[in-house]
Amino acid sequence: MKPKVLLDKVGLWSATVVASTALILGVAPMTAKAINVPTAVTEDGKNTYKKYCSPCHGEEGKGDGPLARSMLPKPRDFTRGAYKFRTTPSGSLPTDEDIFRTISYGVPNSTMIPWDILTEQQRASIIPVLKSFSEAFEVRKPEPPVNVGLEIRPSEKSLAEGKKIYEEKLECWKCHGVEGRGDGPSAAEQEDDFGFPIKPFDFTTGKFKGGNSDRDVYLRFTTGLNGTPMPSFAKELTDEQRWCLTHYVMSLIKPEETCK
């Protein structure tokens, strides 16, 4: 079987670390690393999943491992193929890169840690195992990632435009609260597709589950979080308006609260 080469787009941090180490060592900086995702489930992948992931996600990926019982948010149930953190449009399956990114980055504000004790190859080997839990991956392919346009520079004008979108045009505050504390009037009644209560994200904490870059935030409200009440706002905004909204959301972070 031919392994598929996956470009590691996990985040600028790894590229930056590589680039700065390279500068110190005086070697040419590397821009992207290639890792191999096996095209089918391997023994290695199965064993790694069983040892490190099944205590929470369950032997068959139903999110019902022995540690899951009293946990909230619950470990993901992989059987529906509903993944929150994607570069692909609302309702689509995630790409292998998306899954690799979550395994490596973890999910802040939950028990899902960044799995950096595993090698990149081990992390990649788990991807086919996760996909094998859901028939969705047999019958569908992930749609191509959404196009993230060129970022504009934040300015008073862009922030004011973002605020207008947040407060008037798309009414994000109804769930996330006017100050972004996740305490809007509709916040208390939110449930995910599995019937568990779910809180709209508190932007003031700054610890975004799907990643902290402007690009991550742009992607979250553009693609929506599958399996949750967080909708996709893919059609309502121009690219420039998306950056205005992104910068406004980032401006709601309260630095004194992120240090706690």
Q: Residue 84 interacts with ligand HEC (CB under 6 A)?
A: yes
Q: Is the peptide bond before 142 cis (omega within 30 degrees of 0)?
A: no
Task: Read off φ and ψ for residue 136, nearest 5 degrees.
Answer: -50, -40
Cβ distance to ligand HEC smaller for residue 23 or 188:
188
Residues 206-245, one symbol each (x = binds ligand HEC by CB under 6 A, - = not), give --xxx------x--xx---x--xxx--x-----------x
* Euclidean distance between the first and the last CA atom of the chain, given in angstroms as a whole number: 48
Cβ distance to ligand HEC smaller for residue 29 or 233:
233
Whole-number Cα distances in Å, 224 to 164, 190, 197: 20, 15, 17
∠ CA 93-13-234, nearest 5°, is 35
Q: Residue 112 interacts with ligand HEC (CB under 6 A)?
A: yes
* Closest approach of ligand HEC to the CB of residue 147, in Å: 18
Q: Residue 107 interacts with ligand HEC (CB under 6 A)?
A: yes
CA 99 to CA 53: how far, in whole Å?
14
Please list every residue from 21 through 80 that binds ligand HEC, using CB under 6 A: 52-53, 55-57, 67, 71, 73, 75-76
Give the single-character DSSP code of 37.
E
Amino acid at 20: S
Q: Residue 176 interacts with ligand HEC (CB under 6 A)?
A: yes
Task: Read off φ and ψ for residue 34, nearest 5 degrees.
Answer: -105, 135
* Closest approach of ligand HEC to the CB of residue 19, in Å: 26
Choices 24-32, 37-45, 138-146, 201-209 (CB under 6 A): range interacting with ligand HEC: 201-209
63 near 76, Cβ under 8 Å?
A: yes
Helices (H), 106-238: 120-132, 136-139, 156-164, 173-176, 214-223
CA 225 to CA 168: how far, in whole Å?
22
Cβ distance to ligand HEC smaller for residue 18 or 186:
186
Q: Residue 190 interacts with ligand HEC (CB under 6 A)?
A: yes
* Closest approach of ligand HEC to the CB of residue 9, in Å: 15
Contact residues toward ligand HEC (CB under 6 A) are 52-53, 55-57, 67, 71, 73, 75-76, 83-85, 99, 102-103, 107, 110-112, 115, 126, 130, 170, 172, 174-176, 186, 190, 198, 200-201, 208-210, 217, 220-221, 225, 228-230, 233, 245, 249
